Amino acid sequence: MDMSHSIEQTPCELIFDLDGTLTDPALGFVHSVNFSLESHGISPVEEDDLKKFIGPPLDGAFREILHLDQDKDVSSFVSKYRERYSEVGFSENILYDGIPDLLVALRGLGLRLGVCTSKRVDFAERILTLFDIRQHFEFVNGAEVGVKKSSQLKELMDQSFIDTHSIMIGDRHVDIEAAKANSMRSVGVLYGYGSKQEIEEAHPEWIAINPKALLNIFVDLTAKAAKL
C-alpha cells in the first residue's frame, strides 16, 4: 500500500471512501464490468442493475453478478475489468459537485484527511490526481481482491495513520460497518450509491445529504471541541 509515513505522523481525523463519496464512478465501473463479462462470453448487464455493486470489493460484486458461491475464483473477471479500467475506466469518473470546496474547508478547520477505498491504490491515486485533489490527503489506502475494508482500517490503525477518534465517511454499509468493527465513528452520505434505508440500517453517528451538510457536521464538531 503506497502511503508516506514518518515518525512524526499523527492520526488523521477524517477518512474518506472514494467511489460514491468523492467521485461518481458509475460510467467506468459499468463499462469495465461489461467488458469483462463480454470477454468471457457473457451478455452485458443493464447499467441500473450494476450500480448497486458500486462500492464493495470487486470480487464479491462479480460473484453476485454471476450467481457464484463465495469460494469461487473470479480472478479472471477482475483481471479483465482492471484491463479496461486501467486504460480508460478510471478517467470516466466524475467528481461530485462541491467536493473540492469541501476538502479545502475541512483543511481550513485544521482537520487532517485520508482516503480508504476498496479500489486498488494505484487506481485511486490516478483518480485523485486527475481531479487535482490528491494534495488534500495525508495518505491513500487501497485494497487488493479479497481484502475487507474493516481489515484496511485495522492496518491503518496499527500503523498509527488513524485511531479510534478518526471518523470514516462513506456511502455504503460496508464503510459504516468497517468503522464500527474498529471502534470508530462514521458518517453515511446519501448522494452516493447506498440507499437511505441501507445507510440508516447501518447506524452511522451522522448522515449527510450532500457535501455542504457533510461540512456542517465538522464545523459543529470543531466548534464544540474548541469550547472544551
Domain segments of the chain as ranges: 14-24+94-227, 26-92
Cα dist from 61 to 68, 185, 205, whole Å: 10, 26, 27
Q: Is 175 labeled as catalytic in the residue annotation? A: no
Q: What is the pLDDT of residues 72-127, one digit of tens each?
A: 899 999 999 999 999 999 999 999 999 999 999 999 999 999 999 999 999 999 99
Q: What is the pLDDT of residues 54-73, one digit of tens each?
A: 988 899 999 999 999 988 89
Q: What is the pLDDT of residue 7?
A: 37
**14-24+94-227 has which CATH code?**
3.40.50.1000
Residue type at 177 in one-letter notation: E
C-beta of residue 172 within 8 angstroms of C-beta of residue 197 = no
Q: What is the pLDDT of residue 55?
A: 82
The residue-averaged pLDDT of 139-160 equals 94
Three cell numbers, residue 150: 474493516
Contacts of 35 (CB under 8 A, 6+ apart): 80, 81, 83, 84
Q: Bridge-partner residues for 95, per DSSP? A: 23
Apex 50 CA angle, 129 and 93, nearest 5: 15
Q: Which of 17, 19, 59, 175 is catalytic?
A: 17
- At the topology level of CATH, where does 26-92 sit? DNA polymerase; domain 1 (1.10.150)
pTM of the complete model: 0.90
Identical fold between 14-24+94-227 and 26-92: no
